A and B are shown apart, each in its own frame.
Chain A
Amino acid sequence: MRELWDFRELVMTLAERDLRVRYKQAVLGIAWAVLTPLAMMIVFTVVFTQVGHINAHTNGAPYALFAYLGLLAWTFFASAVTTGGMSLVGNLGLLNKLYCPREVFPIAAMLDAAADALIGTVVLLVLFPITGYAPKPEAYFVPLLLIPLVAFTLGVTMAVSSIVVFMRDLRLLLPLVIQLGLFVTPVIYSSATFIKSKSLLIVYSFLNPLAPVLDGLRRTVLQGLAPSWGPLAAGTVASFLTLYVGFVLFKRLETGIADVA
């Protein structure tokens, strides 16, 4: 941990490098950080409001905002796990020649995803006046919701990144799992759409810690309510459990990275 702090500059350099490499080679550059969630929001808005007629339980907020807020957090998770999961495999050349704490690679990948999410948030601020809907003052709960989000994301990213080194099959499986994840997580609908019972919601939140975070984001920012504490607590516990397991797994597996590379 101490060592990791000493290498904070490296984490920043790596994150900066990946951002640079990613956007330097694309003609549209940084615009991609905005385009991806925006495009998905439009797709889901069209599907839900024009085609499907499904009740997403937005509780009066415009569906576009509802979906965008969910997608913003989900995209952060998904892109951190996808790029972070490949961060060790992708940097084997570096890992095999110079020593540094291996954690810096998944952490840097997560910071990249966070930078994208930050750009996405700027877009959100523009979306509010466009849709004519104002954010509620309860948005001050958001930092509290970000704690389990970051913990869970980091835990999964670390686990995936270290396992992928040893089981390359996971690399092909990962996009599929992420796709499925989009539908078992209340990204484009609310948990209330499918789960009515309160105790079931707590179990669900424990199994999928992203659920209370996403629900909470919408409750606070769009509806002006406090988060539902029960599910959030369950999700937070599960997030830190995931982080712990991911970290331990990472520490165990990192010793063998140089052997298989």
Chain B
Amino acid sequence: MPTLPDGTIEAAEVWKRFRSDDRPSYLQDQLARVRDRLSGNFRPSYRWALSDINVRAEPGESWGLVGANGAGKSTLLKILSRVMYPTAGRVDVAGRVGALIEVRAGISPLLTGRENIYLTGSIMGIKRRDVTRRFDEIVAFAELDKAIDRQVKFYSSGMQMRLGFGVAAFLEPDVLLVDEVLAVGDATFQQRCLDRIRAVLHEGSTLFFVSHDLAAVEATCKNGIWVANGTIQTIGPIRDVLTAYRGAVEGEAVESRQQITGRLSIRDVTAASPDGSLPSTGGPLEVNLTIEAPHEHRVWIYLGVSEGAATPIFLLNPGRETILPAGPTNVRCEIPSLPLPSGRFYVWAGVYEHWEGGTELVPWQPLTRFEVYGPKLDNAPPAVVRLVPLHIDSSWDIDRAA
């Protein structure tokens, strides 16, 4: 086998299966298998968590893994970290792996923070004196101060996570695997983690980053993998992967819309430019819909435009309560200048009773989608998280100062 340069990850035709859920123990599984064979009714006693995964990451690359819960992201990460063995296929990881699979990665509660740092270091295969060299940095990053000589079981969950991340990210890993751990920390710490991840990338490490925070993934990773049902749906530049993923999530939401019925119903929804053509960046957008009410209602109407899930890029409402008479009412909303870059977007809507705390008459849900033509969104600098895709016109003057 040719030796790969440190930081290379190669997974070829990786499959992983788990035993079926009603036979959790090995013994039970083996007994059930014998019973099945004797009685002649075969049923699969396993489920596939990953099928035919092929990934190759070169040193210094940054990969984001996205996908729904249970899609197999964490399983894939565990296999890449060699903690879990694939059922079939080959995984090669060259170099030192720093893994942060769960919040308290590799922390032993009975030891002090100091002992834990050395223990994790030696698990990663790092010499004691090399750990000593980075020791102060880790303690400073984790903001532990004197607590470093306290047993970890007395740490708060935030301290444990900071220590776990600090150890994984400061011990010069060739490969850094990070699984949805930043969600626990506060906003400042998340930003420091992202900064640290960027620094690790800058030092030439390879990164695999699993997160549901798509903005953070986009800001951190150049490449992406969208995993669904244990298979790779899309692999490539992060922007393409996220577009495909968001599209699928929204598509699902739009599909399921028919089943949700509030106390009012909405129909005949369109979103287009007023002359019927496709909307463009900076051009007008007109949303039309009809609300059917069984009797008179005084309501608040909200419209939202989103790219991701239920969180809109911006929200609109008429600014006053609306009186809906019994029967159908046409609602028209025009945005004179659409601040969206090219891409696919979705119109969400919700109708609520007019008083504070009133019940929702139509729950917040996607109604339709529309394409926008125009300039593509600029790439953000590394580790800068852009919350929403907006296109804002700007003019610049850059002159040499006199």
Shortest CB–CB separation between residue B31 and chain A, in angstroms?
12
Chain B contacts for A7, CB-based, 8 A? 122, 125
Shortest CB–CB separation between residue B305 and chain A, in angstroms?
41
In the complex, B144 has a CB within 8 A of chain A: no
Q: Give Cα distance in the complex from A166 to B28, angstroms.
A: 10
Interface residue SS majority, chain B: loop
Once A17-B119, A100-B123 are accepted as A-B contacts, the answer to whether A258 and B111 lie under 8 Å apart by CB is no
Q: Give Cα distance in the complex from A94 to B124, angstroms.
A: 12
Q: Give Cα distance in the complex from A168 to B124, angstroms.
A: 29
Shortest CB–CB separation between residue A76 and chain B, in angstroms?
24
Quick one: closest A residue to B18, CB to CB? A259
Once A21-B110, A99-B82, A256-B85 are accepted as A-B contacts, the answer to whether A10 and B123 lie under 8 Å apart by CB is yes
Quick one: closest B residue to A258, CB to CB? B84
Q: Give Cα distance in the complex from A13 to B82, angstroms.
A: 21
Q: Give Cα distance in the complex from A14 to B110, angstroms.
A: 13
Shortest CB–CB separation between residue A218 and chain B, in angstroms?
39
In the complex, A2 has a CB within 8 A of chain B: no
In the complex, B120 has a CB within 8 A of chain A: yes
Q: Give Cα distance in the complex from A257 to B371, angstroms.
A: 48
In the complex, A260 has a CB within 8 A of chain B: yes
Assess whether A93 is in contact with B128, with CB atoms less than 8 Å apart.
no
Quick one: closest B residue to A166, CB to CB? B26
Q: Give Cα distance in the complex from A10 to B123, angstroms.
A: 6
Assess whether A98 is in contact with B26, with CB atoms less than 8 Å apart.
no
Q: How many A-B residue pairs have CB under 8 A?
A: 81
Assess whether A13 is in contact with B26, with CB atoms less than 8 Å apart.
no
Chain A contacts for B1, CB-based, 8 A? none
**Which one of B106, B108, B122, B128 has the greatest number of beta carbons of chain A within 10 Å?**
B122
Q: Give Cα distance in the complex from A115 to B25, angstroms.
A: 35
Chain A contacts for B107, CB-based, 8 A? 93
- Identify which of B97-105, B200-208, B270-278, B359-367 touches chain A: B97-105
Q: Give Cα distance in the complex from A256 to B86, angstroms.
A: 9
In the complex, A255 has a CB within 8 A of chain B: yes
In the complex, A96 has a CB within 8 A of chain B: yes
Q: Binary interface profile of A, 231-261, with partner B (CB < 8 Å = 1, else 0)? A: 0000000000000000000000011101110
Quick one: closest A residue to B118, CB to CB? A13
Assess whether B106 is in contact with A94, with CB atoms less than 8 Å apart.
yes
Assess whether B83 is in contact with A97, with CB atoms less than 8 Å apart.
yes
A-side residues, CB < 8 A to B, are 6-7, 9-10, 13-14, 17, 20-21, 25, 93-100, 166-169, 254-256, 258-260
- The 7 closest A-B CB pairs, nearest first, are A258-B84, A166-B26, A255-B85, A99-B82, A10-B122, A97-B105, A13-B122
